[in-house]
Amino acid sequence: MERRLKGIGMQKFIKYLLLIMVTIIGLSMGELVSANQLSFSVVPVLPDNQVDKKDGFYNLVLQPGESQDVTLRYSNSTKKPVTVTTKVAPATTNINGVVEYGTNKSKIDRTLKYNLKDLLTVQPNVTIQPGETKDVIVHVTMPEQHVEGIIAGGLTFSDQAADKAAKTNKSSTMAIKNIYGFQLGFLIRQSIPNPYSDAKINHDGLKLSKIQANQVNYRNAISMNLQNPLAVYVNQMAVSAKIFDANGKKVLYSSKDNMMQMAPNSNFDYSVMLGNGKKLNPGTYRLKLTAYALKDVNGKYKTKLFNKQGDQYKYRWQFNRKFTISGAVAKKYNAKDVTIKHFDWLKLLMIVAIVLALLGGLLWFILWKRLKDDELVEIEEDVRDVEGKLVTVMRKVSEREYKRLLKQGKHVRLIKKVK
């Protein structure tokens, strides 16, 4: 298949992608691991049945039922022994449309008939002494049945001690788990030419399965599961997705991406983001999705979706489908979306409680003041009798009346409060 791919540009794409995977990367939640952080190296010794020895990964042609031992060359350039852990995994496609060759949480697609993990026997832990180079055998067995296309996967190598230490190390602010290692692609097939015709790929090369409300990084989205059911790579993949109202007249959400890739017999959720602060609304919608693959100057499918000049592609798939979002699902995701400002009932209750407390305090003060003003006091007041003589009289009045007399400038004096 690789010769065919090379002739149409797919070979170079696969080669470059897998060479990148072979470079030293940090499979981590933190920063990428630089080359000088790795304590070891692993180089594949490519056999004669390698499709192209310029590749930096295994790409083998085997007959049905044939077994073969290939060699991995481990090296330790440090001054301490290093134990390298090696794991095998099938190739998968992540949510960004990128092929992964290491272990991950992606579910194996139901169309994957042969898992590379079941076809390779590799030593899980290899200890290399300081300055030592060691050859380690990997045993590969091709299924006895006829296999169309590629069985794709990879080997993941990691420093056991450094990996374990990084996983248990927690900083004062947050836990960061770094895995010190890298991946090596491993492809096997029974024949080199692409076993699928262009008509077959155009008809069956991409399937649309489930469409559903979803979240990406706690942000509302609508995801459509795209499946590659064939044992070939879908290269230079471009997707344009538009979500309409139920009548298919008004565009509500849209997204487009190009230069993606799908592994053989894999699937991934392509997501259309709603946008910050946008709520999912229950109801019926219509999805119109167009996907392209493999740029070709002679390709019959041309689009200007991704540049003004336009691109020509060899393959195209189109989907037009209705789907429904229930009220319960919309409510669940809206409650978890970190960009949506939710009504804070607790805050409201606290504000109401404070207002009620202030009103209660004000009411208590008014009542207290009124009761206090109604209390009786005994006063002396200088008044003139009928003959105009100044005399002093004693009488009982309310405190309110006493204050009123003072305000009027009357000659009054407080003697005592009357209990």
Q: What is the pLDDT of residues 161-184, one digit of tens each?
A: 877 776 666 544 444 444 568 899
Q: Can you give the pLDDT at residue 173? A: 44
Q: Residue 222 above 90 pLDDT?
A: yes
Q: Residue 79 above 70 pLDDT?
A: yes
Please state the three-class secondary structure of the chain as a single string: CHHHHHHHCHHHHHHHHHHHHHCCEECCCCCCCCHHHCCEEEEEECCCCECCCCCCCEEEECCCCCEEEEEEEEEECCCCCEEEEEEEEECEECCCCCEECCCCCCCCCCCCCCCHHHCEECCCEEEECCCCEEEEEEEEECCCCCCCCEEEEEEEEEEHHHHHHHHHCECCCCECCCCEEEEEEEEEECCCCCCCCHHHHHHHCCEEEEEEEEECCCCEEEEEEEEECCCCCEEEEEEEEEEEECCCCCEEEEEEEEEEEECCCEEEEEEEECCCCCCCCCEEEEEEEEEEEEECCCCCEEECCCCCCCEEEEEEEEEEEEEEECHHHHHHHHHHCCCCCCCCHHHHHHHHHHHHHHHHHHHHHHHHHHHHHHCEEEEEEEEECCCCCEEEEEEEEEHHHHHHHHHCCCCEEEEEECC
For 8-35, write each residue's pLDDT tens digit.
Answer: 344 444 444 444 443 333 332 223 333 3
pTM for the predicted model, two decimal places: 0.73
For 269-290, write each residue's pLDDT tens digit.
Answer: 999 999 999 999 999 999 999 9
Q: Residue 249 above 70 pLDDT?
A: yes
Q: Can you give the pLDDT at residue 31? A: 32
Q: What is the mean pLDDT of residues 203-221?
A: 96
Which range of 78-82, 168-172, 353-357 scores highest in mean pLDDT? It is 78-82
